[in-house]
């Protein structure tokens, strides 16, 4: 549906950009459709023309003039076929070999390197061991779930992105160590939170910075209190985390 709209709008108007407000559950969907949180359009073009939703994230899609969006699926299939053809020219990974002769009378333990195709591939036990090593630390998945829950909370709206310098000119004069949920997401993807305590330290920066800059009666400070309370509730539900509250 969106692809059809994109092709229609391009063909019937000079419009090349879409803006939308996405709630936290829809951000992933819009990213797959080519939307980004990075807004390049000047605010004078859209400010006041699109409804500002509390708790929503504004996202932008810039269309490409030479792309027919309804043909993207077919185009990607052709690209995939071309890549596979190039791989087959230099690799034997597409060739299916018969089982080892040693298994003729039933499965038995054999040396993998005694199989010619495996030996020719350059495989080694060290490579296999390396491939089996976990990509992330032991707390990665639980921290990811916690971060997603915090991002999806109704009180998260002031903290989803860094504070805009143009909108709040003196913020970075008061707050010397800023933090926000999108920055935490980037750090988490880079495995910069080896322990729950490291994660909590940055989360507390968000809440403490907010309460320091804003009066306690403002919606911002109240949101910080709500989100912090929610975070600790979630943490207490993970018994293996021995985090002092």
Burial state string for 147-164 with b = 16 or more CB within 10 A and e = fewer than 16:
beebbebebbbbbbeebe
Cα distance between residue 211 and residue 221, in whole Å? 5
Q: pLDDT tens for residues 69-109?
A: 899 889 999 999 999 999 888 877 778 888 888 888 888 88
Q: What is the pLDDT of residue 244?
A: 46
Paired sense of beta strands 57-62 and 17-22, if any: antiparallel
Token pair of 150 as six digits = 């915090």
Q: What is the pLDDT of residue 102?
A: 81
Q: What is the pLDDT of residue 243?
A: 52
Q: What is the pLDDT of residue 245?
A: 46
The ranges of the chain with pLDDT < 70 are: 54-55, 242-245
Q: Which of 241, 232, 226 shows the shortest CA–CA distance to 142?
A: 241
In the chain, the domains with their CATH numbers are 2-62 (3.40.630.30), 140-236 (1.20.920.10)
């Amino acid at each position: 549906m969106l692809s059809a709209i994109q092709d229609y709008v391009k063909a019937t108007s000079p419009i090349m950009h879409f803006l939308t407000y996405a709630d936290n559950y829809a951000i992933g969907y819009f990213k797959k459709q080519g939307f980004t949180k990075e807004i390049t359009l000047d605010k004078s073009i859209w400010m006041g023309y699109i409804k500002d939703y509390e708790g929503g994230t504004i996202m932008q899609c810039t269309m490409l003039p030479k792309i027919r969006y309804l043909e993207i699926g077919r185009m990607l299939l052709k690209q995939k076929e071309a890549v596979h053809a190039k791989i087959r020219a230099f690799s034997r990974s597409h060739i299916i070999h018969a089982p080892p002769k040693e298994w003729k009378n039933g499965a038995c333990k054999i040396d993998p390197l005694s199989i010619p195709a495996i030996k020719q591939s350059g495989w080694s036990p060290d490579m296999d061991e390396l491939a089996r090593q976990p990509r992330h630390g032991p707390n990665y998945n639980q921290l990811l779930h916690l971060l997603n829950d915090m991002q999806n909370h109704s009180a998260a709206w002031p903290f989803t992105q860094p504070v805009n310098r143009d909108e709040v000119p003196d913020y970075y004069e008061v707050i010397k160590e800023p933090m926000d949920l999108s920055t935490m997401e980037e750090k988490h993807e880079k495995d910069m939170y080896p322990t729950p305590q490291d994660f909590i330290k940055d989360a507390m920066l968000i809440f403490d910075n907010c309460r320091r800059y804003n009066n306690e009666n403002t919606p911002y400070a109240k949101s910080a209190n709500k989100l912090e309370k929610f975070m600790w509730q979630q943490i207490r539900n993970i018994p293996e985390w021995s985090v002092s509250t």
